[in-house]
Amino acid sequence: MMLSSPQIQTDLGEPYLRLQLDSQTQAILPMKYAQEVLVIQSHRLSSIPNMPSHIIGLVNQRNRLYWLIDLSLLLDLNFSCKTVREYNVAFI
């Protein structure tokens, strides 16, 4: 009689990044699309005049320029606060 050892479950599914857009709305992004997640101080942003309200501005990260977009404003959730000192940013 042969005893088999317990199997370890290694397939936990695809990892994902959960984004809280407002108090009731979350977005889920597969991690394969997320390059980096950072907290960026607001003084690092360059505001661009005459842009839609959901465009926060530009940021230089590792010698590359990125547009920062407030997803809650883009989706018309109106959760964004314009007086924040830092932003939680997901680069995709």
Q: What is the pLDDT of residues 14-52, one digit of tens each?
A: 898 888 888 888 888 899 988 888 898 989 999 999 999
How far, in Å, CA of 50 to CA of 41, rounded? 22
What is the predicted pLDDT for the residue at 1?
44
How far, in Å, CA of 84 to CA of 11, rounded? 39
Q: How many CA atoms lie within 13 A of 48 on its CB side?
A: 14
How far, in Å, CA of 11 to CA of 4, rounded? 20
Which of 4-8, 11-15, 42-46 has the weakest average pLDDT? 4-8
Domain regions of the chain by residue span: 32-91
CATH code matching the domain that covers 32-91, chosen among 2.40.50.180, 2.120.10.90, 1.10.260.40, 3.40.50.720: 2.40.50.180
